[in-house]
Amino acid sequence: MLANPVRLALRDGFRCIARYERIWLTFALLGFAYFVFQFVTFSSVPRPSEIDFAEIISIANWNWSPLSDVWREVPLPTVESVAGIFDNATTTYPLSALAAILFLVNWRELHRTFWRALFKLYRWWSIPIYFVFLVSTLAALLKPLVYWRLSNWNNEVSTAHLLKISASIDALSFIFEYLAGVYIQVYLITVCLAWIKGLSFREGPLFAFAMRRFSYVLEWAGIVVVVSMLVLRLPMLLAYFINVPNVLDYLPLQRVFMSGFILAFCSVQISLVLHNETLREAFRAHRQLLRRDFRRLAWFCLICGLNFFSILVVDAMVRSAIADRAAAMMVWKSIFVFLRALVTGWLLASWVVLFRQCESGRIAQENWIRY
């Protein structure tokens, strides 16, 4: 493994996140917020008097399961995690609601920058694109409210109608949540690019620069959204309105398909970020990259898979051993969130470095956004 052809990129990825800790801390913040939401929503939060910290240190008394009992739940999340490095490496909910507010109030002029970049690229097509984005932004604002008030509304509205409304809002908010995650990824890629080029930057201009680059990625992100809607979201949404038999039985296969789709076009997103080219040019560059550096890409995906598989197996074993020990679960999930964020940030930075190494022939041709 030490002789693999991407070892220098992996080394430089570590150096990058050591210089710019925000790369992995961003993933840690988003992951921790999602963990808190899941724990509060789907678990019974113990009272302070009920927390037994002795269960945290009594690791020997936990019910440890053998690897053969837990590994089967790991491959699918591993594949999705690897695909996320090339697309959207983390979930943005519930902080997506805060992001929606910041976008609507034009925080750091990002709303205005987004509209200008959108109109510059797509002209009058920018109006329907902006409308869809705005509707999904409002849905992202409503989604936490729906989760919060769902039990109270159940006394006033039938459960079937509530499920239809909440499922529709969830499907719409997915668009904003996904695109917000893509923007964050674009921003982090630009941070890595600044490190590679040895550039200094200020936060405000970098946010705006990432938004302009995001506008170039939007066309590809839109394709991913449409495919995801058709393959994943739409069947589950229709199940609330009509009878769709065994809709959940196909979910693992649908998730595998989406991950495979993203992996098949792994360099399209970063090519659009770094070169602000057309989607057709990005596809052409991706084909050339596969022909020229398929071995390096395969090695990188393999190493990503091994790292994610390792930490996910450990997580599955620890969660199985902890069982219903609430205090121990909170401590472990907090540790795991930061561990996964560190691995994700490192691999994302390594991917940017590797792509630049593979793209050495195109660097002189790079286009820059001008206004």
What's the pLDDT score for residue 283? 96
- Cα distance between residue 55 and residue 48, in whole Å: 14
Instruction: Output the DSSP codes for 177-205.
Output: HHHHHHHHHHHHHHHHHHHHHT----HHH
What's the pLDDT score for residue 210? 95
Specify the pTM.
Answer: 0.92
Tens of pLDDT, residue by residue over 96-133, are 999 999 999 999 999 999 999 999 999 899 999 999 99
Does the bond joining 252 to the residue before it have cis omega, within 30 degrees of 0? no
What's the pLDDT score for residue 371? 32
Tens of pLDDT, residue by residue over 63-73, are 788 888 888 88
1-18: average pLDDT: 88
What's the pLDDT score for residue 337? 96
Instruction: Kindly tell me the sign of the dihedral angle through the C-alpha atoms of 268, 271, 272, 278.
Output: negative
Instruction: Assess whether pLDDT exceeds 50 at residue 363.
Output: no
Average pLDDT, the chain: 88
274: burial class by Cβ within 10 Å (0-12, 13-18, 19+)? buried
- Cα distance between residue 129 and residue 191, in whole Å: 27
Tens of pLDDT, residue by residue over 250-303, are 899 999 999 999 999 999 999 999 987 889 999 999 999 999 999 999 999 999
What's the pLDDT score for residue 354? 96
Tens of pLDDT, residue by residue over 293-344, are 999 999 999 999 999 999 999 999 998 888 777 778 888 999 999 999 999 9
**Kind and range of the H or E element at 5?**
none
Instruction: Assess whether pLDDT exceeds 50 at residue 370.
Output: no
What's the pLDDT score for residue 98? 95
pLDDT band at 39 (very low <50, low <70, confident <90, very high): confident
Residue identified by tokens 């001008």 is 370
- Cα distance between residue 182 and residue 214, in whole Å: 8
pLDDT band at 365 (very low <50, low <70, confident <90, very high): very low
